[in-house]
Structure 1
Amino acid sequence: MKKREGEGSSRKNGDAAREQDTGSCSSPVVAAFKVFQQELDTKHDKYERLVKISRDITIESKRTIFLLHRVANVPNTEEVLKEAELKLEGVRQKIGQVAEELRGEDIHQFHRAFTPGIQEYVEAVSFLHYIRHRSLISLEEINARLVYMRAEGGDPKASAEGPAPGAQVLTFHVTPSDYLLGVADLTGELMRMCISSVGNGDIDTPFQLSQFLRQIHDGFSYIGNTGPYEVSKKLHTLRQSLGKVEDACYALHVRGSEIPKHMLADVFCSRTALLDSDEGVA
């Protein structure tokens, strides 16, 4: 019996020694995985911060778009446009925070975190540009406004002036795919602008919008299936918006002279609803 107890104690001591040896052998592996854990946690935290910033960018951009739709209903449009520009300046400061988070990082690892906000910003800034200039803003013009001067220990601030002494220049580049997706969403806002213009008795704006939307549609047609997958999905919505505006312009051209101005919006909405029902049947 004593011999068995001695054998059991020696076996336990051997197991403990082997466990200690195993722990010492695996310690470099454990240390390496701890490093990997820290890197993954850091990237995850950065990703979540970018998602929150993108959400703020989306909200403020949508508010700017809603504000710009008031242009058709106010006598002094310049005040609305200036207020919209101030809101967009705040959005650009938020994009500066994105640029700060991406400093030294691979943008493609975090692109899905902030792309919704950037698309919404492109939609808002292109809508404002169209109202002012009746043209489409280019990708280069958008990126030219996303240059930031970051002072030591300070937040990045957009500035058109040269860099101050000791300041660091940060730039954010909107990707071509985000630009195309934002412009595709712009067509829906232009269709709503057409409805508001018709409701105010403005017959010229719908024809201008129809021509502009046709040019955008032709541009997307050149891309075809070679562009990003999301662009091909939004092309259907673009065609719907163009069809509704062209259908309204047809009604205005044929019957516009005989319909009172205060009833033009009702005619537009009725023909739009009829077009939607036809698409649903098809």
Structure 2
Amino acid sequence: MSNAEGEGCPRSRKPDNAPPQRMKDPANPSAVLSAFKTFQLELDTKHDKYERLVKLSRDITIESKRTIFLLHRVTSVPNVEEVLAEADAKLDGVRVKIGQIAAELRGEDLFQFHRAFTAGLQEYVEAVSFLHFIRHRSLISLEELNSRLLFLNDSDAKQGASEALAFQVTPTDYLLGVADLTGELMRMCITSVGNGDIETPFQLGHFLRQIHDGFAYIGNTGPYEVSKKLHTLKQSLAKVEDACYALRVRGSEIPTHMLAHVFSSRAAQIDADDRVS
């Protein structure tokens, strides 16, 4: 037996006349590569839209907070209507931003991008409901809130179209905004007492109890984020009720200029007790 036969079958050799292998033309990608390029384009488009919505939400949050800070001045200025008119103008600017969100979401699934702008919507709900309470001493409804969020697209307006963009605040965003409102009402209560206003704290206490009863009715059956804010709501209610109790029992004993300091100290004590418990 020869060495070649002992080493096994010889390796197969390419025939001399076999055509050379051709390199794949990068100008003609395969179907898989083409599909992935399509996916990349879709994801980049979605990411860019998401970032634009985040920026709009940040602008809405900032302007809504400024409106809330402005509204706290109603307890110390002689012309309340002037402050409310300025707050209306600021909220009109906020609604322009919400209209831009509505334009971005045209033809899209709202809940795919909801996380990008939910913080701004909650702050807007808080500002609008705070203004509504100052004017009417009641809670604005979700239906009334959404009725103000109808926008005419610029391109439609130029073409004379009557169809408007409608943006709807979700029930969860509405509830979260109302829960945050209770903290502003608690601050308004302390400020009112410091300015010698004895009636407002009792109005706020009654209103906060109604809101608390409503949230208690929802209980743990509502969204998780809502149940998380129930503790903060209870804290705000406890502080206002404590202030009302002190006004009713010891109001005549405490000098007017000392009331705000006394109630702020008692509110801080309530916070400390909650942390201990």
TM-score in terms of structure 2 length = 0.90
CA contact (8 A) 2:67 2:91 kept: yes
2:102 pairs with one of 99, 103, 115:
99
Once the two structures are superposed, the pairs formed by residues 53-202 of structure 1 within 5 Å of their partners are 53-152=56-155, 165-202=160-197
CA contact (8 A) 1:184 1:238 kept: yes
Residue number in structure 1 paired with 2:261: 266
Distance 1:266 1:89 in 2: 36
Distance 1:54 1:277 in 2: 33
- 1:205 partnered with 2:200: yes
Deviations 1:91-118 (A, max 9, x none): 0000000000000000010000000000
Distance 1:239 1:92 in 2: 31
Q: Secondary structure at the match of 1:174?
A: coil
1:215 pairs with one of 210, 226, 247:
210
- Structure 1 residue ranges, 4+ long, deviating more than 4 angstroms after superposition: 7-10, 23-26
CA contact (8 A) 2:150 2:167 kept: yes
- CA 1:53–1:9 in 2, change beyond 3 Å: closer, same or farther? farther
Q: Answer with 1 or 2: which has the greater Rg.
A: 2
Distance 1:86 1:20 in 2: 63
Q: How many residues are treated as equivalent by the alignment?
A: 265
Q: Cα distance, 1:151 vs. partner?
A: 3.5
Distance 2:19 2:157 in 1: 60
CA contact (8 A) 1:151 1:168 kept: no
Deviations 1:53-77 (A, max 9, x none): 0000000000000000000010000
Deviations 1:7-32 (A, max 9, x none): 7997x975x43x539x8996111111
2:43 pairs with one of 40, 43, 50:
40
Distance 2:143 2:270 in 1: 37
Distance 2:209 2:275 in 1: 23
Tell me which amino acid in the other structure corresponds to 1:137.
Answer: I
Distance 1:9 1:83 in 2: 89
Distance 1:9 1:118 in 2: 73
CA contact (8 A) 2:60 2:120 kept: yes
Deviations 1:127-183 (A, max 9, x none): 00000000000000000000011232779xxxxxxxx93243100000000000000
Residue number in structure 2 paired with 1:244: 239
CA contact (8 A) 2:156 2:163 kept: no
Tell me which amino acid in the other structure corresponds to 2:85.
Answer: K
CA contact (8 A) 1:191 1:241 kept: yes
Where does structure 1 lack aligned partners over 5 or more consecutive residues? Answer: 1-6, 156-163
CA contact (8 A) 2:156 2:162 kept: no
Residue number in structure 2 paired with 1:227: 222
Q: Secondary structure at the match of 2:168?
A: coil
**Sequence identity, in percent?**
72
Q: RMSD of the TM alignment (CA)?
A: 2.3
- CA 1:243–1:167 in 2, change beyond 3 Å: closer, same or farther? same
Of 178-187 and 25-34, more deviation after overlay is shown by 25-34
Distance 2:38 2:32 in 1: 10
Q: Specify which structure has the higher proportion of helix.
A: 1
- CA 1:263–1:24 in 2, change beyond 3 Å: closer, same or farther? closer
Distance 2:125 2:84 in 1: 16
